[in-house]
Amino acid sequence: MAETTATPARAIDLTRRQMFGAAGAAVALASAPAASAGAVTPAIPASKPGDPRFTPLYPRESATRSVRDLSGLWRFRLDPKDIGESQRWFDGLREARRIPVPCSWNDLFDDAANYFGAAWYETEFQLDPAWHGRRVHLRFGSAVYRAKVWLNGVAIGEHLGGHLPFAFDVTGQARADGPNRLTVMVENKLRLDRVPAIPDPDTTHLYQEDFPQTSYDFFPYSGLHRPVWLHSTPDNHIEDVRVTTSRTGTTGLVEVAVRASGGWSGPATLEIATDGGPIRQPLVIRDGAGTATVRVPAARLWSPEHPNLYTLTVRLGDATPIDEYALKIGIRTIAVQGDRVLLNGEPVHLRGFGKHEDFFLHGRGLDLPVIIRDFELLKWIGANSFRTSHYPYSEEAMMLADEYGFLVIGETPAVSLTFSDRAEIIEARRVQLRADIEDLISRDKNHPCVILWSMANESLTKPFHTADPVPADSVAKGTRFFADIFGHARSLDPSRPVAMVSVQGGPVEWVSQGDVICANSYNGWYAVSGRLEDAAATLRTEITTLHQKCGAKPIIVTEFGADAMAGVHGEPSQMWSEDYQSDLIAMYLDVLGSLPFVVGTHPWCFADFRTAQSIMRVGSLNLKGVFTRDRQPKRAAHMLRETWAGVKATDWHRVQPA
Ligand code: BDP
C-alpha cells in the first residue's frame, strides 16, 4: 500500500477495545515435579529460545537420535470464556471434537471462522521403550500466537510469538509406563502489544473497519500450524551447530561452531561428504563449545543455477560417537558492495515474489504438496527468489528452498508496526520482536538460501485508513526502534545483510538503516491508479530519489502489483483485469530494469490469498496473485514466464515429459 493522505469516508470513534498486557518471548515455568511413576531421569526445567538448554536444531534421525512426529488427529475444544485453565481442562479434555495437526482451525469449523480466543488441543503418546535412559524433547514447529503446554496435567512452559519453533526437555516428565497426555492451549487474541498488532483505538480513528480488524492485509489464521515432534537424544548431546562459509581460491572454508549440552567437554569430529570421499576435521569441545574449520578443495558452490549441497555430520566422542547430527549445508558467500549484491563474488539479480503460507481449508497449516507445487511454479516462471512475507515460513520450506536454489529474504512477523501508538505498546513490541529475531536467526542461520534478513514490512508513522495527522515524534520513535533492532540482528548474524521493507512514502530514516534498501511501491494501483504512463514516470522518480537519499545502496523492489480477478479482461486494459495486472507488472520490470542499482524485482504477489472481510477485498481475497489461490496462472504469469524464463506462449512444446 501507499501511506494514505485520503480524507475518511466516515470517521469511526473507537473505544478502547483491548487491554494492554505484558509481552515477552517465551516463558519457562518453574521446574515442574517429575511424574512419579515411570520417571526415567530427573526432570530439568522447560527450555526456551535464548536459554542455553534450548535446542534450535530441526529434529533428525541419526545413529544416536530418534524422531517421532505427533501430527495427526488431536482433540480440540474452543474456550471462549477462558475457563479452561481454572477448570483444569489439562486433566482431560471433555466435549472435544477432532482437529488435524498441523492446521489452522478457522476454515474447518463455522463457529471458529472468526475465533481467535483460547482453544485447547489434546493428544496421547506412548514413550518408545528404546528411549529409556535418554533425553526426551518435545518440539513445536509453530503455534500462533501463544501456547501453554501441559504434560500429564503438569504445566511445562509457554511460548509467545507465532511462526517459530519452541521446545521443552521433558525427560522424566514423560512416563515410560503408560500413555502420556499432552495438552496445549493456543490463543491468537488480536492485541495491541503483539507482533503483528491491531490498530491502537486510543490513538487511531479508522475510517475503514475490516473484520477481523488487523493492521495487516492477511487473515489471522490461528492454531498449531506446524508439526509437533518428540525426539530423543543421548544425555550428552549436540545442542546447536552454526555454519559459516567462505572460500579462498577454489577451496571452500566451512567454519563450524558446535554447542554441546551441559557444558560437556571432549573430542568431536566434523565430516563433510564430498565426491572425493569424506573430509574429516577433529574438534575439541570445552565447556560445551568448540569451533573448527573444514577445508573443502575444489568446492562446488551453492547458487540458484547450481544449488549444490553437502552433508555435514557432527559427532561427539571418539570412535563410537556419543551423539551424531547431520545437516545439509551450502558453500556460498553473500556480500553487499556499493549498490550491488554479490553472491559468490558475482552480482546477482533477484527475480521472484512475496508469498504467503495460505491455502484452502488448512489456512496456514503446513502443507508439503503446496510447498512443492509453489516451488515448481517458481521454477516454471523463471523465478530465483522469494520473500517469506510477512513471517518466517516452515522449516520444511526453507530446506526445500536450499535444494531448489531460491534466494530467500527471511522476514520477521513485524508487519505494519505503527509508531503513532503509545510508548509502552511500542516498547512491548520491541521486546517481542527482539525475541522473534533471536528465534528466527537461531532457526534459519544455516540455510544457504537465506541471503538477507528483513526486520519488518511496511512500518508506519500512522495506521492505514486514518486521516489523523502523523504525530511529530513518530519518525524519531521509529528511528530509535530500528537502530536497536538492526543492531540486534547484526550482532546475532554478522554474516548476512539486514534490511527492512519500506512502505511507499515511508521515512527514509528507517529504511536507510538497512544494508539493502527494500521498497514496496504501488504506482498504477493505490497511487496514480489506472494510468500506467503516469505511473511509470512517478515510479522512476520515486526509486531514483530513494536511491539518492539512501546513499549508494542496492534496491530491491519487494512489492508492486495490481488485483486481478481471474477471467476478467479488458482491451484497453483496465484495473482489476488480468490484462491490467500484466501490463502494470511489465511496466515495473521495464522501468526498474533500466535502473542499474535495482538488484531485485518481486511482484506482489505469488498467489491470491485470504484476507479479512473488507470493502477492498472481493471474497475476502487479495487478488494480486499472478497465480490464483488454487495455483492456476493468470495472464501476468505467462508474461513473466516469457520475460524471466524466455518461454513464449507460442511454444506449445513447453511441457517436457519427464
Ligand atoms: C502492502 C503489504 C501487503 C499487502 C499489499 C496489498 O505489504 O501485505 O497485501 O500491500 O495491499 O501494503 O495488496
Residue-wise pLDDT for 313-336, tens only, equals 999 999 899 999 999 999 999 999
What is the average per-residue pLDDT within 243-249? 97
Identify the residue whose C-alpha is closest to ligand 1 atom 8: 217
What domain count does the chain have? Answer: 3
Indicate whether 111 pLDDT > 90: yes
Closest C-alpha among 253, 277, 192 to residue 463: 192
Q: Does any ligand 1 atom lie closer than 6 A to the CB of residue 457?
A: yes
Q: What is the pLDDT of residue 603?
A: 98
Final residue of a structural domain among 186, 211, 233: 233
Q: What is the pLDDT of residue 207?
A: 82
Q: What is the pLDDT of residue 345?
A: 98
The four Cα atoms 16, 19, 22, 26 give a dihedral, to 10 degrees, of -110
pLDDT band, residue 657 (cuts 50/70/90):
low
What is the average per-residue pLDDT within 3-12? 30
Both 293 and 424 in one domain: the answer is no
Are the C-beta atoms of 170 and 151 separated by less than 8 Å?
yes
Q: What is the pLDDT of residue 650?
A: 81
Final residue of a structural domain among 198, 233, 268: 233
Q: Is the pTM of this model over 0.75?
A: yes
Closest C-alpha among 129, 326, 170 to residue 238: 326
Which parts of 331-424 are beta strand (E)?
334-337, 340-343, 346-347, 350-354, 385-387, 407-411
Final residue of a structural domain among 335, 361, 386: 335
Both 201 and 277 in one domain: the answer is no
- Of 458, 521, 560, best ligand 1 pocket probe by most atoms within 8 Å of the beta carbon: 458
What is the average per-residue pLDDT within 564-585? 97
Cα distance between the two ends of the chain: 42
Q: Write out the residue range of the structural domain in which residue 490 sits.
A: 349-645
Q: What is the pLDDT of residue 206?
A: 84
Both 471 and 617 in one domain: the answer is yes
Both 286 and 228 in one domain: the answer is no
Which ligand 1 atom sits nearest the alpha carbon of residue 216? 8
Write the pLDDT tens digit of every residue in 380-422: 999 999 999 999 999 999 999 999 999 999 999 999 999 999 9
Ligand 1: distance of its center to the CA of 581 in Å?
Answer: 15
Both 92 and 176 in one domain: the answer is yes
Q: Give catalytic status of residue 559 as yes or no.
A: yes
What is the average per-residue pLDDT within 446-471? 94
Write the pLDDT tens digit of every residue in 359-377: 999 999 999 999 999 999 9
Closest C-alpha among 435, 432, 479 to residue 459: 479
Q: What is the pLDDT of residue 25?
A: 28
Q: What is the pLDDT of residue 56?
A: 78
What is the average per-residue pLDDT within 570-594? 97
Q: Give catalytic status of residue 533 as yes or no.
A: no
Ligand 1: distance of its center to the CA of 91 in Å?
Answer: 43
Both 533 and 436 in one domain: the answer is yes
Q: Does any ligand 1 atom lie closer than 6 A to the CB of residue 217?
A: yes
Q: What is the pLDDT of residue 209?
A: 86
Closest C-alpha among 224, 216, 112 to residue 464: 216
Q: Does any ligand 1 atom lie closer than 6 A to the CB of residue 606?
A: no
Write the pLDDT tens digit of every residue in 20-42: 122 222 333 333 333 323 333 22
Indicate whether 532 pLDDT > 70: yes
Q: What is the pLDDT of residue 362?
A: 97
Residue 656 counted as domain residue? no
Residue 512 counted as domain residue? yes
Residue 16 counted as domain residue? yes
CATH number at residue 420: 3.20.20.80
Residue 657 counted as domain residue? no
What is the average per-residue pLDDT within 480-488? 98
What is the average per-residue pLDDT within 624-638? 98
What is the average per-residue pLDDT within 491-518? 97
